[in-house]
Amino acid sequence: MLKRESGASSHRGTTRREFLRGSVAAASCMALTSELCAQQADPDYKLEIAPLKLEVRANHFLETIAYNQQVPGPLLRLREGRSTSIEIVNQTKHSEIVHWHGLFLPPEVDGAMEEGTPMISPGQTTRVAFTPEPAGFRWYHTHTFAGTNFKLGQYTGQHGFLFVDPKDNPARYDQEAFLALHDWHGQMLAANDGSMNPVYDVATVNGRCLGFGEPLRVKAGQKLMLHILNSSPTEVHWVSLAGHRLLVVALDGNEVSQPRAAEMLRLAPAERVCVIVELDNPGIWILGEVRKHIQGAGMGIVIEYAGSSGVPQWRQPAALVWDYAAFAAPLEQLGTEVIEVPLVFQSKFAGHGTMDHWMVNGKSYPQTDTPTLHNGQRYRLLFQNQSTDDHPVHLHRHTFELLRLTMGGNLLRGVHKDVVLVPAKTEVAVEFTANNPGSTLFHCHQQNHMDAGFMMLFRYA
Ligand SMILES: [Cu+2]
């Protein structure tokens, strides 16, 4: 990394080496890429990874790790096609790494050590520079191993919103808000089959329990855009906004071909949903988890219309309904020239009191296969979930398109995502074009599953 020379030292007599370094830096700014220039100027953003006592409700603190002493971390608002630089300081006692989820980055920047991104040592400062694409709702989060340590990895507060504004932005709303759903204070408990799974007793929206902190203030007659992220380490969430319907316009930050109103949303870990709300029902409402015990643990936020007062109101939706296909257009026929890659998900009971091991095509990471991709080739991933758990699987550095949600089901197009929930005992097919050479990680986004072997790498020829 190039360092900028301080002005003070050059006044007192610059050494030849310093002078040369300065000239080289100045010359590179004219001749080299804007990414390199970005490394020499002040960074656009700074992230400090450090311990935090997070107040989730009045006088109730959780010890965690966060970015810039806040949960979620700062909103990183970037512009499509414009390079940015972000300085990261690790003030914790263990190595860390930041993954830029949903962006098309080189493997050395993407933020997965399995792809070759360097870890950030305790006390180390590093800087990343990139030109963000694609436009839309992305996020950033830690990508470390946690095992049974609930003070590490995605069990912590290390997550934040990243939004890439498109070059031309048609504003279709008056106000926007970003909301992150998270579960806290986990412990491993034995399920009926004897395997260990995380359970939580605190749940939050933007790091606070329902009723603690400021409500989201809105005005009647306006359109509200909500960017909702499930940053939970392991849990799927269902949310609803009492008194309102939610027009789903984008999934994982990518506009869907069929925007459609929904009574409630389902978000698997790492998924994002963008909705537009017509603010046409003045009052004090709750946006929250529809399952009472999770809303009771804190997962909710008050939506307050200007001029309204009273106790926040909740209305229980009739049924849990969510179907990715509702936002897709029908696909007439399967593409040819596509290479199929079957990926079979299975668990291996590892003994009572132990977490299951996870396998893709019969092997656990790092023994999993590393299929070779060819640049420009279209691939069809056939996820065959033979286990009794649902898995939110994530492909790094690429976007895929949903093709089929069950074996022999309708063919779909127009829903582009980077995470898809593959329910137990089903087969889901997605397609993507290999267009970003470099090591590419594929894994289940549930922290306890990826830690127990549910990961594999694709490599490019
Ligand atoms: Cu999983």
Strand partners of residue 53? 63
Query: Within this chain, do residues 452 and 435 fall inside the same structural domain, yes or no?
Result: yes
Query: Within this chain, do residues 183 and 316 fall inside the same structural domain, yes or no?
Result: yes
Number of domains in the chain: 3
Last residue of a domain, one of 280, 305, 322: 322
The predicted structure's pLDDT at residue 196: 80
Q: Work out the mean pLDDT of the chain and round it to a whole number.
A: 90
Instruction: Give yes or no for residue 29 having a pLDDT over 50.
Output: no
Closest of 36, 67, 69 to residue 54, by C-alpha: 69
The Å distance, Cα 367 to ligand 1 centre, comes to 17
The Å distance, Cα 82 to ligand 1 centre, comes to 35
- Position 341 in a domain: yes
Query: Within this chain, do residues 309 and 378 fall inside the same structural domain, yes or no?
Result: no
The Å distance, Cα 175 to ligand 1 centre, comes to 35
Query: Within this chain, do residues 158 and 184 fall inside the same structural domain, yes or no?
Result: no
The predicted structure's pLDDT at residue 190: 80
> And the tokens for 43?
């960074």
Residues 6+ apart with CB under 8 A from 28: 2, 36, 37, 40
Helix, strand, coil distribution of the chain in percent, nearest 5? 10, 45, 45
Query: Within this chain, do residues 269 and 207 fall inside the same structural domain, yes or no?
Result: yes
Measured between alpha carbons, how far is 442 from 450 in angstroms, rounded to an integer?
10
What are the tens digits of pLDDT across the range 187-242? 888 877 677 889 999 999 999 999 998 999 999 999 999 999 999 999 999 999 99
Last residue of a domain, one of 165, 196, 230: 165
- Position 65 in a domain: yes
What are the tens digits of pLDDT across the range 283-322? 999 999 999 999 999 999 999 999 999 999 999 998 889 9
The predicted structure's pLDDT at residue 412: 97
The Å distance, Cα 31 to ligand 1 centre, comes to 46
Calculated CA dihedral for residues 72, 74, 80, 86, nearest 10 degrees: -120
The Å distance, Cα 273 to ligand 1 centre, comes to 20
Edge-to-edge strand order for the sheet containing 159-165? 73-79, 159-165, 136-142, 98-101
Give the domain CATH number at 427. Answer: 2.60.40.420
Measured between alpha carbons, how far is 204 from 301 in angstroms, rounded to an integer?
8
Query: Within this chain, do residues 318 and 335 fall inside the same structural domain, yes or no?
Result: no
- Position 390 in a domain: yes
Measured between alpha carbons, how far is 118 from 384 in angstroms, rounded to an integer?
32
Measured between alpha carbons, how far is 283 from 312 in angstroms, rounded to an integer?
8
The Å distance, Cα 234 to ligand 1 centre, comes to 8
- Position 11 in a domain: no
Last residue of a domain, one of 165, 195, 226: 165
Instruction: Give yes or no for residue 352 having a pLDDT over 90.
Output: no
Query: Within this chain, do residues 140 and 241 fall inside the same structural domain, yes or no?
Result: no
Query: Within this chain, do residues 302 and 338 fall inside the same structural domain, yes or no?
Result: no
The tokens 């792809």 sit on which residue?
A: 115
> And the tokens for 284?
């004090």
The tokens 């109101």 sit on which residue?
A: 313
The predicted structure's pLDDT at residue 18: 36
The Å distance, Cα 117 to ligand 1 centre, comes to 23
Instruction: List the domain range (segments joined by +) for residue 304.
Output: 175-322
Instruction: Give yes or no for residue 35 having a pLDDT over 60.
Output: no
- Quick one: which H or E segment has residue 217? strand 216-218
Q: How many CB atoms lie within 10 A of CB 270?
A: 27
Query: Within this chain, do residues 200 and 152 fall inside the same structural domain, yes or no?
Result: no
Query: Within this chain, do residues 344 and 214 fall inside the same structural domain, yes or no?
Result: no
- Position 20 in a domain: no
The Å distance, Cα 269 to ligand 1 centre, comes to 10
Question: Cis omega before residue 282 (within 30°)?
Answer: no
Residues 6+ apart with CB under 8 A from 227: 137, 161, 163, 176, 177, 178, 179, 272, 274
Side chain identity at 430, as an amino acid letter? V
Measured between alpha carbons, how far is 359 from 339 in angstroms, rounded to an integer?
22
Query: Within this chain, do residues 159 and 204 fall inside the same structural domain, yes or no?
Result: no
- Position 8 in a domain: no
Banded pLDDT at 386 (limits 50, 70, 90): very high
Query: Within this chain, do residues 202 and 340 fall inside the same structural domain, yes or no?
Result: no
The Å distance, Cα 321 to ligand 1 centre, comes to 21
What are the tens digits of pLDDT across the range 51-69? 999 999 999 999 999 999 9
Banded pLDDT at 186 (limits 50, 70, 90): confident
Instruction: Report the percent of the chain where pLDDT is more than 90.
Output: 82
Q: How many CB atoms lie within 10 A of CB 307?
A: 8
Contact 443, 394 (CB under 8 A): yes
- Position 442 in a domain: yes
What are the tens digits of pLDDT across the range 250-283? 999 999 999 999 999 999 999 999 999 999 999 9
The Å distance, Cα 147 to ligand 1 centre, comes to 14
The predicted structure's pLDDT at residue 40: 64
Banded pLDDT at 396 (limits 50, 70, 90): very high
Measured between alpha carbons, how far is 47 from 45 in angstroms, rounded to an integer?
7
Residues 6+ apart with CB under 8 A from 428: 383, 385, 402, 404, 405, 406, 420, 422
Measured between alpha carbons, how far is 209 from 195 in angstroms, rounded to an integer?
30
- Position 388 in a domain: yes
What are the tens digits of pLDDT across the range 64-106? 999 999 999 999 999 999 999 999 999 999 999 999 999 999 9
The Å distance, Cα 141 to ligand 1 centre, comes to 18
Measured between alpha carbons, how far is 86 from 138 in angstroms, rounded to an integer?
15
